[in-house]
Amino acid sequence: MDEQSEPGRTARRLSGRKLLVIGAGTRPDADPEAPIGNGRAISVLAAREGADVACADVVPEAAEATAGLVTAEGSAGAALVADATDAEQTAALVAGTVRELGGLDALVVNVGIGLGRGLADTSPEDWDRVLSLNLRAPFLAARYGLPAMADGGAIVFIGSLAGLRAATGSPAYDSSKAGLFGLTRHVAKEGAPRAIRANLVVPGLIDTPMGRQASAGRASRTASFERIPLARQGTAWEVAQAVTFLLSDHASYITGQQLVVDGGLSAV
């Protein structure tokens, strides 16, 4: 796949699925050529694969824009607004998905921020804020989503290569993304009696608005581009392809696992 290409024709692997994507918007960017973000690419590709999608974001305009793209693909799209770190709002988000789509059998959690540089320059408040969004929010999504989900459903969390190694210089970000590995395994174990699978997609250096902003503020990230065996960054569409695979019946015997999407970076 060309690094800038958008997937076209699909196999309709998610036909009939009712999917909630938490973090479905794309971060605003002044560059008119800015690429699509992971959450929006996941939502659009899932719709192209036949799923109805509830697009949730803390920013109303971002949720509405993604829902409009889902509808344009011929699927039902709903825009929902919630703070994913708030328990009551997350519970309402799940209930709203069931109400708007007529059920829930797939869930993607795509949230994350990074604050602080090193232990000395990471305040306790920074630590709490990062852990709240990066780890508490996925926990809440699973806590309220799992009981509402139909048997045979699937959950995908979006992690980071920072969960495998100290990659960013932010102890809060690296620790929170490492914690997702444990949460994924636990959710997979609890979901297994109802054939609900849970997996973790682990992106490496992906060309998204958030990725470009991170590169602008961290020279070490840009320097890492040269060490990628495939000699380029990934795209949000390539992350979305991994996610839709794990949501589909093509991954029916995969649960509690990690799928690394990094162009080989973690292998060298």
Q: How far is CA 7 from CA 10, 11, 19, in A?
A: 8, 11, 19
Residue 77 located in a structural domain? yes
What is the share, in percent, of the chain residues with pLDDT greater than 90?
82
pLDDT, tens digit, 9 for 90 and up, residues 113-153: 999 999 999 999 999 999 999 999 999 999 999 999 999 99
Q: Is residue 263 part of a domain?
A: yes
What is the set of active-site residues?
A: 173
The pair phi, psi for residue 96, each rounded to 5°, is: -65, -35
**Amino acid making up residue 239:** V
* Residue 11 counted as domain residue: no
HEC sequence for 163-229: HCCCCCCCHHHHHHHHHHHHHHHHHHHHHHHHCCEEEEEEECCEECHHHHHHHHHCHHHHHHHHHCC
Examine residue 4 and state whether it is found in any structural domain, yes or no. no
Confidence of residue 209 (pLDDT cuts 50, 70, 90): confident
Q: What is the pLDDT of residues 54-100, one digit of tens each?
A: 999 999 999 999 999 999 999 999 999 999 999 999 999 999 999 99
Q: In this structure, is residue 78 part of a structural domain? A: yes
Query: What is the chain's mean pLDDT, rounded?
Result: 92
Residue 8 within a domain: no
Examine residue 100 and state whether it is found in any structural domain, yes or no: yes
Q: Are 90 and 140 in contact (CB under 8 A)?
A: yes
Query: pLDDT tens across 223-251, in order?
Result: 677 889 999 999 999 999 999 999 999 99
Q: pLDDT band at 208, cuts 50/70/90?
A: confident
How many domains, the chain?
1
Q: Which domain holds residue 180?
A: 18-267
pTM of the model: 0.92
Q: Where would I find the H helices in 73-170?
A: 87-101, 124-131, 137-148
Q: Give the burial class of 148: count Cβ atoms within 10 A of its Cβ; 0-12 exposed, 13-18 middle, 19 or more buried.
A: middle
